[in-house]
Amino acid sequence: MNTKYSNPSSTKTQRWRGKAQLLANIRGFLLFLLSLILALYVSWMINAQLGYGYSWLYHAYSIDQHIEEFAPQNRFRQHFGLTTEQQHKDIFQQIVVSVHNDGVGLEAITYDVNEPLQARATVVPVLHAAEIIHLQDVAHLINRIHWLAGILTCVWLALVLLSFFSAERASNKGMAAVFLIALTLIISLFVGVGAKEIFYQLHIWIFPAENQWFFYYQDSLMSTLMKAPVLFAGIALQVVLLGMILFAGVLYAWLWLFKANKSHH
């Protein structure tokens, strides 16, 4: 009778390889996730530098008609309906610059109204107190996101170096499966709950409860100017599309570097 014995050293080696592969898969998943997050962050910053595409979204969403309808109904500001398209774009750009600069200058954003029978134009502040407080909350949130992005970038670089010099590689099939599952869950969430509802709920979670963040068009030139939240859908689409292009570029460079590194060993 022949008895087969397992080699203890071989069993330990298999277990070690199994753990090493598991760690490689976890590392690969984190790299994948962080690459996507940082690609979206960079895309967001690029969009911010381009004024979030307000110049072309202005016409795509008929914001001029929206302002024409709701500006005369505003309970806090008068005569905004007399302003021009260029004024609208300038004001939006000033808001963008301010919220990306810790909220500095929000009080100084104004519009000029040339009323009949008046020798001089009337200078009117665009934002009232509640709007300024909300945009300052947005500016503080942006600052925190910058800090978080910096930390995530350091983690991402550390993971890249670990993966580059590690003998184990993440399973491509496993990563693809995780990506498809995550994508399915995200799409299901947006379809099932609704983008607007998610947008509002995030505001509830993120911003201080004592500060107003929802403004009716009749109470806010800011909301009217942005046709909120409709404009944000277009901005989000721009950020996601460019982010996915950047993400694909990162993945391509990542795979190319790993293949080049492997060929030298």
Is residue 213 situated within a structural domain? Answer: yes
Q: Which residue has the higher pLDDT, 39 or 4?
A: 39
pLDDT (0 to 100) of residue 118: 63
> How does pLDDT run across 140-183, given as a tens digit for each residue?
999 999 999 999 999 999 998 887 776 666 666 666 776 777 77
Q: How many domains does the chain have?
A: 1
Residue 99 located in a structural domain: yes
Tell me if 17 is assigned to some domain. Answer: no
- Determine the Cα–Cα distance for residues 106 and 102; give it in Å rounded to an integer: 10
2 Cβ neighbours under 8 A, 6+ residues apart: none
For tokens 């993440």, what's the residue? 170
Average pLDDT value for residue range 126-136: 97
**Angle ∠(202,214,193) on CA atoms, nearest 5:** 40
Per the omega criterion (within 30 degrees of 0), is the bond before 229 cis?
A: yes
Residue 10 belongs to some domain of the structure = no
The confidence score (pLDDT) of residue 168 equals: 66
Question: Is 178 within the bounds of a domain?
Answer: yes
Give just the sign of the alpha carbon dihedral 192, 197, 199, 205.
Answer: negative
- Complete DSSP assignment for 64-130: HHHHHHHGGG-SS--SGGGS-HHHHHHHHHHHHHHHTTTTTTGGG-EEEE--TT-SSPEEEES--HH
pTM of the model: 0.85
Q: Looking at this protein, which amino acid is placed at residue 62?
A: S
Q: Is the pLDDT of residue 3 over 60?
A: no
Q: Quick check: is 12 in a domain?
A: no
Q: Residue 113: pLDDT band by 50, 70, 90 thresholds?
A: confident
Domain extent for 108: 25-263
Answer whether residue 8 is part of any domain: no
Please, what is the average pLDDT of the chain?
A: 86
Asked whether residue 87 is domain-assigned, the answer is yes
- Please report which confidence band the pLDDT of residue 17 belongs to, taking 50, 70 and 90 as the band edges: low
The pLDDT score that the predictor gives to residue 71 is: 96
Sequence-distant (≥ 6) Cβ neighbours of residue 3 within 8 angstroms: none
